Amino acid sequence: MAGGRLLLAKSAKSSQSTPMEPHSLDATRRTFLKTAGAAAAVGSLPIASFAQVEGSSELKVALVGCGGRGSGAAAQTLNVEGTKLVAMADAFENNLDGAYGSLKAAFGDKVDVPKERRFVGFGAYQEAIDAADVVILTTPPGFRPEHFEYAVSKGKHVFMEKPVATDAFGIRRVLAAAKEADAKKLKVACGLQRRYEHNYIQTHEEVMGGMIGDVIAAQVYWNGGGVWVRERKEGMTEMEYQMRNWYYFTWLCGENICEQHVHNIDVANWFMGGPPKKAQGMGGRQTRIGPDFGEAFDHHYVEFTHESGAITNSQCRHQKGTMSRVTEVIVGSKGTAYPGRIVDMDGKTIWTAKGAPKGEEANAYQIEHNELYRHIREDLPKNDAYYTADSTMTAIFGRMATYSGQELKWDQALASEVSIMPKEYGWDKDPGPKAGSDGLYPCAIPGVTKVL
């Protein structure tokens, strides 16, 4: 991979299911939805038949990335009739073993992963992907471009978590693989679940129908106290430590603006009709300082300007004891839209979402998987990779603006040749970031750090 590097990192999730009340659905994502399902014998589907899968055909699934999000995504896939988990891969054996035990206990025979199909190490993803028809990609996001590229090259349908890269170089790989997926009639679903949530879908329909007039601004937030920290243990190499504590290293996570706040940024892009053309902002590290916090800023603020002149104001923060807010506000010339609710210029509620229609699935995390398999079986076009790459790049774009302190243009940011990924993978290899004599990892310095 190309050399060069920026600095910093972070991660997590959340959503809204009732109007005006942002709350975390992280637990929902990570909790198994236990649904009974009989599993037939596993049959191998040739690549040529992927676009014409019969409704009764059983689909073999591989899980690549066996942490909490991977276990949750695998559970949601296994809730779908006609799926069977047949292969698993992770860099760490303990992650794989934990996920296997939990999934086996929850889904019984739908989990058919003998020892010989449990793969460990940096290259394990290839063996797991080779064994399946559909792959779930849920490793730390720095690895997503390589894994997605390989899955598509092998003719596999894909569910992959957001974000889909940590730098512009990775985004370009994802976009190229997305085009190849289209050419092969492969189906791709991604984990920006607000696009599948009934409140959001209905709100988007009303806004696009003109209820709030012209969209002129968006306010998007992911402000909270932060997430887990994994301490360095004796005997760990630098690569292992950064992989274990991946939320705090930019090459692995992309920073909290990318790993978490991408959800809210994606909503802004959705309602704005596409990504912004310019970005400028500020950020830094004020309260979360120490060897365990890697390179990460603890706050970012970005002003994105869209083609129409509309502005998205983006806030994300990980600072304990501060105001928590995770939501989106879409401002129009005639009113304002919140998730599931629209008010007029006087603040009076003029529309409220109805939620999921009777008899339909209400959990957006589950709907992502239901829709992927429906599109596979009915051979309907589906490729979420494009808008997910756009929104991931928007988050990276914002990070580039806060790191550099410069006003940047979209095209120049997307064309950046700065890769923050390691040149080689291995437990004894150099991941890039290095702590100083005080044990602290240096972070980006606005006005000094180069991002282009």
Tell me: cis bond preceding 339? Omega within 30 of 0 counts: no
**Domain assignment of residue 346, given as a range:** 195-360+391-414
What is the identity of the amino acid at 436?
A: G
**Is the per-residue pLDDT at 16 higher than 50?**
no
Cα–Cα nearest to 314, from 332, 327, 324, 297: 327
What's the CATH number where 341 sits?
A: 3.30.360.10
Which amino acid is it at 187?
K
Q: Answer yes or no: is 118 within a domain.
A: yes
114 occurs within a structural domain: yes
259 with 270, same domain: the answer is yes
Q: Give dist(CA 269, CA 162) in Å, integer.
A: 15
213 and 84 both lie in a single domain? no
**Statement to judge: residues 272 and 328 lie in one domain:** yes
Residue 442, token pair as written in the block: 């240096």
Does residue 170 share a domain with residue 272?
no
Pair (225, 323) in one structural domain:
yes
Average pLDDT, the chain: 89
- Lowest mean pLDDT across 11-15, 81-85, 105-109, 110-114: 11-15
Q: Is residue 200 part of a domain?
A: yes
> Is 450 among the domain residues?
no
Lowest mean pLDDT among 51-60, 265-274, 329-338: 51-60
- Give the pLDDT score at 283: 98
Could you read off the pLDDT of 106-127 as tens digits, one per residue? 999 999 999 999 999 999 999 9
pLDDT one-digit tens code per residue, 404-440: 999 999 999 999 999 999 999 999 999 999 999 999 9
State the average pLDDT over residues 350-370: 95
Whether residues 56 and 145 fall in one domain: yes
Q: What is the mean pLDDT of residues 155-171?
A: 98
pLDDT at 40 over 60: no
Q: Is residue 48 scored above 50 in pLDDT? A: no
Quick: pLDDT tens for 211-249. 999 999 999 999 999 999 999 999 999 999 999 999 999
Check residue 268 and give its pLDDT: 98
pLDDT computed for residue 76 by the predictor: 98
Domain containing 105 — which CATH number?
Answer: 3.40.50.720
Q: What is the pLDDT of residues 184-215, one digit of tens each?
A: 999 999 999 999 999 999 999 999 999 999 99
Same-domain status, 355 and 366: no
Are residues 46 and 151 located together in one domain of the fold?
yes
Give pLDDT, residue 388: 98
Examine the domain organization and report whether 161 and 301 are in the same domain: no
pLDDT above 90: percentage of residues in the chain: 86
| DSSP characters over 200-245 | HHHHHHHHHTTTT-SEEEEEEEEEES--------TT--HHHHHHHT
Q: Which pLDDT does position 91 carry in this prediction?
A: 98
Q: What gap in Å lies between CA 328 and CA 64, rounded to an integer?
A: 31
Residue bearing tokens 């894909």: 158
Any domain includes 452:
no
Does residue 343 carry a pLDDT above 90? yes
3-state secondary structure of 299: strand
Give the pLDDT confidence score for residue 372 in this predicted structure.
Answer: 98
Model confidence pLDDT, tens digit, residues 372-392: 999 999 999 999 999 999 999
Could you write out the DSSP letters of every residue in 386-408? Answer: HHHHHHHHHHHHHHHHHHH-S-E
Measured CA to CA, the distance from residue 348 to residue 335 in angstroms comes to 9
Same-domain pairing of 180 and 205: no
* Residues 202, 242 share a domain: yes
CA pair distance 261, 250, nearest whole angstrom: 14
Does the residue 42 lie in any domain? yes
Predicted confidence at residue 139, as pLDDT, reads 98
User: Into how many domains does the chain fold?
Assistant: 2
pLDDT of residue 208: 98
User: For 268-307, what is each residue's pLDDT tens digit?
Assistant: 999 999 999 999 999 999 999 999 999 999 999 999 999 9
Name the pTM for this structure.
Answer: 0.88
C-alpha 262 chain-centroid distance: 7
Question: Six-digit token pair at 50?
Answer: 């992927």
Q: Could you give the percent of the chain with pLDDT greater than 70?
A: 88
Output the pLDDT for position 355.
84
Task: Please check whether residues 60 and 189 belong to one and the same domain.
Answer: yes
Residue 2 lies in a domain: no
The reply to whether 8 falls in a domain is no
What is the band of 41 on the pLDDT scale with cuts at 50, 70, 90?
very low
pLDDT computed for residue 57 by the predictor: 86
